[in-house]
Structure 1
Amino acid sequence: MNEKYYFLVGLLAIFLLNGCKTQRVLEIKIPYQEECLAVLNYSPYDMPIPLTELKLSQNLITYFDQRSLTIANAMGIMDDLDLLLGYNQKENDNSTVFIQTLQKIQAKVTKTNLEISSITSAIDCEEEKAEQLSVFLERRLRKSERNLTVGAIVTGALVGLSTGTILMAGGSGFIIEAIGISGGLAEVFLGLKILKLENMVFIQHPRNILADVKESKSYSDYLPPAIWYYLNHQNTSRNGTTLRELLLQRWEAYSDSIGEKEVYFLKEGYYTTDMLKNRADMLDQLEAQIGLMNQDILHFVIQLEELINLHQGIPG
C-alpha cells in the first residue's frame, strides 16, 4: 500500500478514537436555593409510641377501627380519645369537659393537616426546582446539538465544493481523496460528538429529604413525627411492610440505575438532565405518599363524628 494511504488510514484511526473517547460535558454552576426545607429539630422523644406497644382500652377498640387508631396514635390523641369515650359513658356527663377535650382533639387534627400541607408544599418546591433545571439543561443540550449538526452540514458542503473545484482545475486524485476522507472524518467526528453530548449541573442540597427518607432512623430531621410515624408504621394488611419501604422499592424499580446514582442521597453532586427528572419523580412519589395520609385522617374524623352524634343523641 502506498505511504499516502497509510497516512490516510492513520488519520482515520485518530479521528475515530478521539471521537469515541471524548465526551462533551458542559458544567453549569447554578445556585440551588435551600428555601424549601427547614430543619425543625425533631428528636426520638417526639415520636409516638408504636400502636402495638400500647394497651388499648375496650372503648377505643369498640368505637374505632385499626385504621383510625393508627392515625390517632400518629397525631398523639390516644389519651384524649380515651377521655372523650369516658365522658360519653357517664350518666351525669360534664359537657364542658367533653367539649374541651373534643376541641383539643380537633386542634391536633388541624395541626397535623397543616404539617401535611407544609411538608408537601416544601417537597413540591424541591420538585419544581429539579424540573426547572432539567428544562434549562435540555435547552442547552439542544442548542449544542444544533451547532454541531450545522457544523457537520457545512463540512459536507465544503468538501463537495472543494473536490468539485479541484476536479474542474485538473487537480490530482490524491488531493481529492485526502479532502474527501478528511471531510468524511470530520463529519463522523461531529456525529460522535452529538451522540455523546451531555450537559451536567453541579447541585448542592445539604437538606436532602430523599436521604432522610432512605435512612432507617427513629425520627426524621424534616418530616414531623406524625408523618414519620405514619410512613414507618407496619401495616398487617401489607404483610408488615411500611409505606416508607414500599416507597424505597418504587424508587429502586422505576428510577434509572438508581443503585449507581447515590448522588440522589448525598449533599451535593453532578446531575444530568435525566437524573434531574428522576429526582423530580422521586420527590413527587414522596409527596403523593404523604398526601394520602389525609384519607386516613378523613376516615378517623368520620368515626369521630359518629361518636359525637352518639353523645348528643343524634341518630347516625
Structure 2
Amino acid sequence: MLIKTIYGLCLPLLLVTACSTGRVISGSKLNLGSNYCAPAAAYPHHPFIPARNTDSLLRANPGMPLHEVLTANATGTLELIYRLQAIAADTTVSGTTNKTILRSQIQHRIMLASLEIDGIAAELDCEGEKADQLARYLDNFNSKRNTRLTVASIIVGAITTIATVAIKNDGAQNAAAISGGLISAGLGALTINAARKKINLTYDRNVLRDIWLLPDTSAVYPPFTWYMLNQKHFSNSGQHSLAINIKKRWEKFDLDGPVNAATEKLLFGAGGIYKADDLHKRAAMVNELQSTIRSLNQDLQRLLQYLGNLE
C-alpha cells in the first residue's frame, strides 16, 4: 500500500515534467525588436560610388600599385591622388599649400571610409552578441529541463527498486518492474530528444542576407564597403571576392553544405523560430563576417602609407 501511494503521488508529477512541451518565446517579450542592432538614426554613407570597371582603372594607372588603385577608387580619392602627384615637385608656397589641402581631403575621405567600417562592424558585433546571448538563454532553459528529467528518472528508478523488493506477489512485482523500467526509459529518451524551448525572431535588416544573395548593390552595406567585399583583388588569393569566400566558408563549416528553403529564410531572410543551435550558428556566421569587414582597415592603412611615400 505504501508503494502504491508513493507511485500515486510521484508519477503524475514526473510525467507532467517529462511530457511538457517546449514553447516558443516571442522576441518582443525580451525587448528585442527586429532592428535591435541597426543604427538608431540613419546616417549618410560616403557619397562616392566606386567605378566598377577594374580593368580600365588598372590600365589607366600603370605606375600605381594595383591594391592602392582599387582602394583609392573605393574611397573616392583616386582623382585627388592624381592631382597630388601632378604637383609633387612644386615647392612654391602655392604648391605646398595645394598639396596640404589635397592631403587633408584625401585623409578626410579615408577617415570616413574607416568610420563606415567601424559602424558596420559595431552592428555586426551587436548582432553576434545578441544571437549568442539568446542561445545561452535557451541553453539554460533546456539544461534545467534535462536536469529535471534526469532527477525524475533517478526517482522512478529508486521507487521501482523499492517496489520490486517490497512487493511479494510475483505478478505485481513484475508489473512494477516493467512499469518503472518503461517510465525510466521514457524519461531517458526525453532527455536525449527533449522538446526544447525556442524563440521567434524576425529581421527587417538581416546583415547576412546580402552576403548570401550577392546582389549588385546592397541595402545594408555602404557602396565603399560593398565594393571592397565584392572585388576579388582584395582577397589573398585574388581568385574570388571576400564575399564569395565568406559564403563558401559558411557552407563548409557552419551549414555543412547546401541549405533548404526553410533554413535559408531563417538565417538569411526574415527570420522565424530559432532553436539554440540555430542561434549559435548565426552568431558564428556574423562574427566571421565581422572579422572580414574589420580587415578592410588594413587596405586603408596601406593606402595611407603609399601616400606618405609620395612626399
Taking the TM superposition and a 5 Å limit, the aligned residue runs for 1:134-149 are: 134-149=135-150
Give the structure 2 partner of residue 202 of structure 1: 200
The question of whether the paired residues in 1 share the 8 Å contact of 2:54 and 2:70 is answered with: no
Which of 182, 185, 194 matches 1:185?
A: 182
TM-aligned CA deviation for residue 104 of structure 1: 0.8
The farther-off stretch of 209-218 and 108-117 is 209-218
Distance 1:250 1:56, change over 3 A: closer
TM-aligned CA deviation for residue 163 of structure 1: 2.4
The farther-off stretch of 199-208 and 138-147 is 199-208
TM-aligned CA deviation for residue 237 of structure 1: 6.3
Give the structure 2 partner of residue 251 of structure 1: 250
The question of whether the paired residues in 2 share the 8 Å contact of 1:219 and 1:225 is answered with: yes
Which of 49, 52, 67 matches 1:50?
A: 52
Distance 1:23 1:289, change over 3 A: farther
Distance 1:94 1:246, change over 3 A: same
**Deviation readout 1:210-242 (Å, 9 max, x if unpaired):** 012212212111211111000000229635311
Structure 1 distance, partners of 2:42, 2:53, is 25
Give the structure 2 partner of residue 9 of structure 1: none
Structure 2 distance, partners of 1:126, 1:196, is 29
Structure 1 distance, partners of 2:57, 2:184, is 76
| Identity across the alignment (%) | 26
Give the structure 2 partner of residue 298 of structure 1: 301
Give the structure 2 partner of residue 279 of structure 1: 282
Give the structure 1 partner of residue 160 of structure 2: 159
Give the alignment's Cα RMSD to 1 decimal.
Answer: 2.5
Q: TM-score, normalised by structure 1?
A: 0.81
Structure 1 distance, partners of 2:57, 2:231, is 17
Greater C-alpha Rg: 1
The question of whether the paired residues in 2 share the 8 Å contact of 1:75 and 1:108 is answered with: yes
Structure 2 distance, partners of 1:210, 1:101, is 37
Partner secondary structure for residue 185 of structure 1: helix
The farther-off stretch of 258-267 and 175-184 is 258-267
Kindly provide the amino acid, as one letter, of the partner of residue 301 in structure 2: L
**Deviation readout 1:111-162 (Å, 9 max, x if unpaired):** 0111111110110000000110111111111100011111111111111222
Structure 1 distance, partners of 2:204, 2:177, is 54
Give the structure 1 partner of residue 134 of structure 2: 133
The question of whether the paired residues in 2 share the 8 Å contact of 1:42 and 1:219 is answered with: no
Structure 2 distance, partners of 1:196, 1:215, is 34
The question of whether the paired residues in 1 share the 8 Å contact of 2:90 and 2:96 is answered with: no
Taking the TM superposition and a 5 Å limit, the aligned residue runs for 1:9-158 are: 24-31=21-28, 32-33=32-33, 34-38=35-39, 47-52=49-54, 54-55=56-57, 60-62=61-63, 64-90=64-90, 94-158=95-159
Give the structure 1 partner of residue 239 of structure 2: 240
Kindly provide the amino acid, as one letter, of the partner of residue 47 in structure 1: I
The question of whether the paired residues in 2 share the 8 Å contact of 1:116 and 1:291 is answered with: yes
Structure 1 distance, partners of 2:256, 2:75, is 37
TM-aligned CA deviation for residue 68 of structure 1: 1.2
The question of whether the paired residues in 2 share the 8 Å contact of 1:84 and 1:101 is answered with: yes
- Between the two structures, name the one with larger relative contact order (CA 8 Å, sep ≥ 6): 1
Unaligned runs of 5+ in 2: 1-18
Give the structure 2 partner of residue 222 of structure 1: 220
Partner secondary structure for residue 222 of structure 1: coil
Partner secondary structure for residue 270 of structure 1: strand
